[in-house]
Amino acid sequence: MKFHYIILTLLTLAAIPASAQFKLDLESGLVLGTNYNKVRIPNSGGTLVNLQEDLTIDPKIFYRIRAGYTIKNRHNVSLLYAPLTVKYKGSFGENVNFNGLNFPAAQPLEVFYKFNSYRITYRYDFVTKARWRVGAGLTGKIRDADVRFKNESSDTHFDNIGFVPLVNFYASYKPNYRWSLILEGDALAAKQGRAEDIFAGAAYQVNPKFGIKLGYRVVEGGADSEEVYNLNWINYASIGVLVSF
């Protein structure tokens, strides 16, 4: 169903005048690990665990797809699909109450942590010089999260889907035609939680229509509500291609 929304929005964007430039940003790479991933479900009565410290994480290849339009060199509208599921395994050093079930200490288990993101962004570039491009805007994000604990005798999960408004920012510097240094992301903090998704890296323009990028991405944030406490920091080694039409 989520793909239907993406297709519908792309068709809507297709009605934009020919002065617009269509772009694709295809990104992949390796999830390097998590600095921390603290979970307590339910927030009142559950056991607080740090999945990064208590368990081990399997290596994970990720991907993200961004499609967008740039209109009159300043107005940018884009859609992002960024799925992510990582798996932890091992055992806890204490009994853990998760989602109403008890997971005994020293018993092997797996934890599946899903954090899919669907976003639509508008950004206005207020600096569009030969070397510098700087802009800011707003992002609407749909968060599709799920935490699943599984061992030989128990299997339970807690999912959460919600809308999160974010501030978008972008800055790039071109020392010459081929190379660009890029800092971009979405971020916002509030009483109920915070979210940051930030990329820092470099891009190389092979020709006017095709470029490659390489850098580091961090996704950090979480929620502290009546139902759930979750705070995480995920590190990515990122490589991608930039295509213009």
Q: What is the pLDDT of residues 138-162, one digit of tens each?
A: 999 999 999 999 999 999 999 989 8
3-state SS, residue 193: strand
Average pLDDT in the 76-104 region?
A: 97
Cβ atoms of 26 and 240 closer than 8 Å? yes
Question: Looking at the predicted structure, is the pLDDT value of residue 20 above 90?
Answer: no
Kindly report the CATH number assigned to the domain that includes residue 109: 2.40.128.90
Beta strands in the chain, from DSSP E residues, in sequence order? 20-40, 49-50, 55-57, 60-71, 75-82, 85-90, 96-98, 101-103, 109-128, 132-150, 155-173, 179-190, 193-207, 210-224, 229-244
Average pLDDT in the 202-230 region?
A: 94
pLDDT attached to residue 189: 87
| Distance separating alpha carbons of residues 153 and 106, to the nearest angstrom | 14
Average pLDDT in the 60-73 region?
A: 96
Q: Which of 238, 232, 240 has its CA nearest to residue 114?
A: 232
Question: Looking at the predicted structure, is the pLDDT value of residue 30 above 70?
Answer: yes
* 14-17 contacts, C-beta under 8 A, 24 or more apart: 16/69, 16/71, 16/77, 17/71
> What is the domain extent for residue 106?
2-244
State the total domains in the chain: 1
pLDDT in tens, 104-136: 999 999 999 999 999 999 999 999 999 999 999
pLDDT in tens, 33-53: 889 999 999 999 999 999 999
User: What phi, psi does 9 have (nearest 5°)?
Assistant: -65, -40
Give CA separation, 132 vs 52, 110, 176, in Å. Answer: 39, 47, 11
Whole-structure pTM value? 0.88
Residue 234 tokens read as 């995920």
Mean pLDDT in the chain?
92
